[in-house]
Copies of this chain bind each other. A is one copy, B any other.
Amino acid sequence: MRAELVTIGDEILIGQTINTNAAWIGEQFSLLGITLQRTITISDIREAILDTLEDCRRRADIVIITGGLGPTKDDLTKPTLCEYFNTKLVMNTAVLAKIEAYFKSVNRPMLEVNTNQALLPESCRVLPNDYGTASGMWFEKENTIFVSLPGVPYEMKALMENEVLPLISQRFNLQPVYYRSLLTQGIGESFLADIIKDWEIDIRNKGLGLAYLPSPGIVKLRISGNEADAAGSRQKVENALTELEKLIPEYVFGYDKDKLEEVVGKLLNEKGLTVSTAESCTGGYIAHLITSVSGSSSYFKGSVVSYANEVKQEQLGVNPADLAQHGAVSREVVEQMAAGVRNLLKTDYAIATSGIAGPDGGTEDKPVGTVWIAVSGPNGVFSGMYAMGNNRERNIRKSALMGLFLLRKQVMEDC
């Protein structure tokens, strides 16, 4: 089953709107075992639409078209679809009644453009839209199915879930490919690749696939089943995942859609532990990540963001002599910050950061990206120095994720 997606809309091409529909449809198809082999975004121009539909028909079994429908946009897309499918617009009385009922329910006058939304191609199967006035349309042409849907995400999603995906599943005997992902922290893509290279060769020989999906501080390793043997590869994927985890246990923090801040939160909750943070270079971002998780108030008490050295001394009790001698970006200071905030806010654990986020402030000894991170807990304070690179935003995010990762490691060692 090969699918293609055509998105119609200038607002996507000029970058006013990010095409989130494409990712959502890609994920739904992938889970069902349909290969979305291509997505194309075009302008709402007759020739572009006709060319693209014909091109897609030659390549795909299913073509989803989103956008170009709606009261102010209907003029072009619907007549062009009629031209391509060799049909004409006719008034659909059932759809008209539904649109009239909608306008009555919201007590607004109905305009001619709204009436025109019930004009639909004679040859299509009309898919009812429960959240808007633009209907979905299902066409077939020379063994290819074409489905035209409105571009408004929640209308498109409801039509896909309630109409399109069930119809496709009924029609075809689909074999979804099985996927699992392992989430790693604290190691770069190429180092990971080197450690796991024998395992990778082995799973590829078994017909499985592997993708490296890096983002700042995190590399996701996705194992995919054999497309030719979708049903039989589930166990192979699970075995490969187990083997992979044994190769790199110290870097793994979760699976699939897990987030590090959620994994850490769950761990603290289970153990009945609390945490606080003392942040210099991360500037409150660790506290933000922790509190982005609903329910974090049960394990997070608070944070002292100590950007100024006087805050490090006065609130966190950092020794002024150490600040003077070693500088704010040092083992001595970051460990005192961690111990200080743990004591001040009376928590079981604390994370502290002090570093040079950049782009300015680096020296030869301590270049931009040098970050000290400490974790303080019932068994003492542990710290390390990291080189986080020279991009401020990434530097802050990588340092925060490393702080959470070190906390998780320490809690697991202690408990």
A106 and B304 in contact, given A38-B40, A283-B287 (Cβ under 8 angstroms): no
A13 and B42 in contact, given A107-B387, A303-B305, A305-B284 (Cβ under 8 angstroms): no
A190 and B114 in contact, given A16-B211, A283-B292, A284-B288 (Cβ under 8 angstroms): yes
Measured CB to CB, the closest approach of chain B to A373, in angstroms, equals 16
In chain A between 37 and 84, which residues have their CB closer than 8 angstroms to a CB of chain B?
A: 37-43, 48, 70-73
Measured CB to CB, the closest approach of chain B to A157, in angstroms, equals 11
Measured CB to CB, the closest approach of chain B to A114, in angstroms, equals 6
Stretch with Cβ within 8 A of B (4 or more), from A19-27, A376-384, A404-412:
A19-27
For the complex, give the distance between the alpha carbons of A142 and B38 in Å.
Answer: 25
Contact A14–B38 (Cβ < 8 Å)? no
Contact B25–A15 (Cβ < 8 Å)? yes
A307 and B302 in contact, given A23-B18, A211-B16 (Cβ under 8 angstroms): yes
Q: Which residues of B contact A154 (CB under 8 A)?
A: 391, 393-394
- A11 touches B (CB below 8 Å): yes
Q: Which residues of B contact A131 (CB under 8 A)?
A: 391
Q: Which residues of B contact A296 (CB under 8 A)?
A: 283, 307
**Chain B residue at smallest Cβ distance from A42:** B38
Contact B111–A190 (Cβ < 8 Å)? yes
- A12 touches B (CB below 8 Å): yes
Measured CB to CB, the closest approach of chain B to A151, in angstroms, equals 10
Q: Which residues of B contact A10 (CB under 8 A)?
A: 211
Measured CB to CB, the closest approach of chain B to A248, in angstroms, equals 15
Q: Which residues of B contact A16 (CB under 8 A)?
A: 23, 27, 211, 213, 222
Measured CB to CB, the closest approach of chain B to A101, in angstroms, equals 13
For the complex, give the distance between the alpha carbons of A200 and B190 in Å.
Answer: 54
Contact B389–A106 (Cβ < 8 Å)? yes
- A30 touches B (CB below 8 Å): yes
- A344 touches B (CB below 8 Å): yes
Stretch with Cβ within 8 A of B (4 or more), from A88-96, A265-273, A308-316, A319-327:
A308-316
For the complex, give the distance between the alpha carbons of A214 and B10 in Å.
Answer: 14
Contact A48–B37 (Cβ < 8 Å)? yes
A19 and B13 in contact, given A71-B193, A284-B291 (Cβ under 8 angstroms): no
**Which of B38, B71, B211, B291 sits near A307, CB closer than 8 Å?**
B291
- A330 touches B (CB below 8 Å): no
For the complex, give the distance between the alpha carbons of A341 and B73 in Å.
Answer: 44
Measured CB to CB, the closest approach of chain B to A381, in angstroms, equals 21
- A246 touches B (CB below 8 Å): no
Contact B13–A36 (Cβ < 8 Å)? yes
**Chain B residue at smallest Cβ distance from A14:** B30
**Chain B residue at smallest Cβ distance from A210:** B72
- A148 touches B (CB below 8 Å): no
Given A19-B19, A114-B190, 4 extra CB contacts under 8 A: A284-B287, A296-B307, A303-B305, A308-B345
Q: List 9 A-B contacts (CB under 8 A).
A: A13-B37, A18-B18, A106-B387, A108-B188, A283-B288, A294-B357, A295-B360, A300-B307, A304-B315
Instruction: Give the 4 A-B CB pairs with smallest separation, nearest first.
Output: A283-B291, A284-B287, A15-B27, A284-B284
